[in-house]
């Protein structure tokens, strides 16, 4: 699906996505990543959802946002509460949703000027 929204060029927005990629400002990115209005952290959570660790979520805390949207692939899956402890301890709000919903919600919140990150996990190749 392709998404189009008028935004300043300096703000990272999701312009499209698929089961194995995301387009950020019309540039394709493959692999799990953290996205904020100002930066893209590639090669995040190399183990995917199945290998998600508290260290992976602690890395999300380092991008200094108020809200984190965790996109868990083509379907919504919930990580163990123990893995979410870094976000809870840092008092960062979070929502867990499938990847398409995380991309759409991220665009709405970043468009409102909110301090948000999307932590996007893709399903492993079949």
For the segment 21-49, the average pLDDT, to the nearest whole number, is 96
C-alpha angle with apex 53: 97 to 102, nearest 5 degrees? 15
pTM of the model: 0.90
pLDDT per position as a tens digit, 40-86: 999 999 999 999 999 999 999 999 999 999 999 999 999 999 999 99
Nearest to 23 by CA among 46, 10, 4: 4
Euclidean distance between CA atoms 65 and 48, whole angstroms? 22
DSSP state of 36: E
For the segment 16-33, the average pLDDT, to the nearest whole number, is 95
* Bridge partner list, 67: 93, 116
- The first and second tokens of residue 110, run together, are 């970043």
Region of 48 on the Ramachandran plot (φ > 0 left; ψ -120 to 50 alpha; else beta): left
Least confident of 17-21, 100-104, 111-115: 17-21
Which domains, and CATH codes, for the chain?
Answer: 14-120 (3.40.1230.10)
Q: Give the percent of the chain with pLDDT over 90.
A: 87
pLDDT class of 5 with cuts at 50, 70, 90:
low
């Amino acid at each position: 699906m392709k998404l189009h929204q008028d935004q300043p060029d300096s703000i990272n927005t999701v312009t499209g996505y698929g089961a194995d990629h995301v387009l950020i400002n019309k540039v394709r990115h493959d692999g799990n990543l953290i996205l904020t209005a100002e930066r893209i952290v590639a090669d995040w959570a190399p183990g995917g959802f199945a290998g998600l660790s508290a260290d992976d979520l602690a890395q999300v805390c380092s991008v200094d946002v108020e809200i984190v949207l965790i996109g868990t692939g083509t379907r919504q899956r919930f990580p163990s509460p123990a893995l979410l402890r870094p976000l809870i301890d840092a008092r960062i709000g979070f929502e867990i949703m499938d990847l398409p919903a995380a991309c759409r919600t991220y665009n709405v919140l970043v468009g409102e000027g909110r301090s948000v990150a999307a932590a996007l996990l893709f399903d492993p190749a079949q």
